[in-house]
Amino acid sequence: MITPFRIFVVEDDPWYGKILHYYLSLNPDYQVTLFRNGKDCLAQLNLKPNLITVDYSLPDLNGAELFRQIKNTDPTLPVIIISAQSDIHTAVGLLKMGVSDYLVKDDNTKDLLWNAVIRIRETQSLRQEVERLRQELGKKYEFGESIKGNSPALKKTFTLIEKAAKTTINVSITGETGTGKELVAKAIHYASERKKQPFVAINMAAIPSELLESELFGYEKGAFTGAVTRKIGKFEEANKGTLFLDEIGELEPMLQSKLLRVLQEKELTRVGGNERVKLDLRLIVATHQNLAELVKKGSLREDFYYRIIGLPIELPPLRHRGNDILLLANFFLEAFAAENRFPPKHLTKAAKEKLLSYGFPGNVRELKAIIDLASVMSDTDLIEEADIRFNAVRSKEDFLSEEKTLKEYTAFIIQHYLQKYNNNVQLTATKLGIGKSTIYKALQEKEVELL
């Protein structure tokens, strides 16, 4: 059954009231109630009307006063004022106070009212839809739900996400490609008090530098050729919510200083404009680079670095997350099976070993692609070793091109195995065919660490 759309009509002129009542009631979805004065209407607000039309000059309260009292009870309830006089000042004043529409009594009123009600209903249903989607998104990104993993390295990340979510501190997330930086940024947003406000993401590396400024700060009509209307930038879009700047290390120094100013002054001016727009947002930046190194190299301004660093969160590469590889593999197997409506497939022992012995240069994103492909390639309900195919771009040459010393490569390999086998020194020594003492020595000399 369709829930009726309840309209209260407040009108002291009995004849005009009847006309409005009759006319609006022509739509069978509308349930219209007529009141002769403001007080009676206020007394019935508990019936939860969806819309109220108010005659501006009532015997007990004037329209503005009645509107104020309605707003006190329900700030989101739309009110249309209908007035016998066309007084621009009163109309502007009322619209500024937040009335949904101001109509003048003349031959067109009933048509204008009809259209106004339709517009208000559309806005209300869009609002409800946005709210529903927002709640759904919130659930999707609850970090217990969205970020899968049990490894000690990832658990540290969970603690930091919680700390970040409780405050408004800026956050900087570092980690190799595909480690889940954007996922973590969303998890922080949706666990924070700003969760009902927008989460806006932009990748600094994906936009040509000459367009980036107007993309971030917006522009006024006529700011440059082609600027035919005003455009709001990402900062304004994210106002009251969270702005996620991905690949922040790619930002040119000139834009770094502009951004720094905006962050310090907490306001911006659109390109080609003068108006100052106040900002209140949480900034989360992400990069696969080491920001402190970029400062040393001179490509990142130091003052900018201190502005954005906030709470640093370092995401471990997948190869350092031990059994999380299998946990995630099963999660992706189930998700792919559900999406394609077949029962989940299972990994054979050999397939599991193949996954565990791989380095995943593309991290979780790569694992997902491998599992999706394996689900398609396997003809039974088992994923065999042969169904697991690695198509990584990173090669042995990439690894060797890092030009580390032999000692550094050794430490790198020991660290990798320690993390893979959950800090089990005995198992790491066996796998690498070395003595435990070599590992203890490396630990003592802080060449490697237990994470």
Ligand X SMILES: Nc1ncnc2c1ncn2[C@@H]1O[C@H](COP(=O)(O)OP(=O)(O)OP(=O)(O)O)[C@@H](O)[C@H]1O
177 binds ligand X (CB under 6 A): yes
Question: Quick one: which of 12, 40, 182, 267 contacts ligand X (CB under 6 A)?
Answer: 182
CA 231 distance to own-chain centroid: 21
Tell me the closest approach of the beta carbon of residue 324 to ligand X, in angstroms. Answer: 7
**8 DSSP β-pair partners:** 33, 52
Contact string 335-364 vs ligand X (x = CB under 6 A): -----------------------------x
Task: Give the count of alpha carbons within 13 A of 251, CB side only.
Answer: 29
Q: Which of residues 241-300 bind ligand X (CB under 6 A)?
A: 246, 288
Tell me the closest approach of the beta carbon of residue 219 to ligand X, in angstroms. Answer: 27
Number of Cβ atoms within 10 Å of the Cβ of 68: 13
How many residues appear in the chain?
451
Given the rule CB under 6 A, which of 113-121, 177-185, 194-202, 253-261 is the region that contacts ligand X?
A: 177-185
Contact string 93-132 vs ligand X (x = CB under 6 A): ----------------------------------------
178 binds ligand X (CB under 6 A): yes
Phi then psi for residue 313, to 5 deg, are -125, 120
What's the rounded Cα separation, in Å, for the pair 428 and 421? 7
179 binds ligand X (CB under 6 A): yes
Tell me the closest approach of the beta carbon of residue 287 to ligand X, in angstroms. Answer: 8
Say which residues have a Cβ less than 8 Å from residue 216's Cβ, sequence separation at least 6.
202, 233, 234, 235, 255, 259
Exposed e or buried b per residue across 315-345, where buried means at least 16 C-beta atoms within 10 angstroms of its C-beta: bbbbbbbbebbebbbbbbbeebeeeeeeeeb
Tell me the closest approach of the beta carbon of residue 184 to ligand X, in angstroms. Answer: 7
Query: Computed from CA positions of residues 404, 406, 407, 412, in that sequence, does the dihedral angle turn out positive or negative?
Result: positive
Given the rule CB under 6 A, which of 68-76, 107-115, 176-184, 350-358 is the region that contacts ligand X?
A: 176-184
Q: Output 214 or 363, the one with its CB closest to ligand X.
A: 363
Q: Which of residues 364-393 bind ligand X (CB under 6 A)?
A: 364-365, 368
Whether the Cβ atoms of residue 121 and residue 6 lie closer than 8 Å to each other: no
> Which residues are near ligand X by CB under 6 A?
147-149, 175, 177-183, 246, 288, 328, 364-365, 368
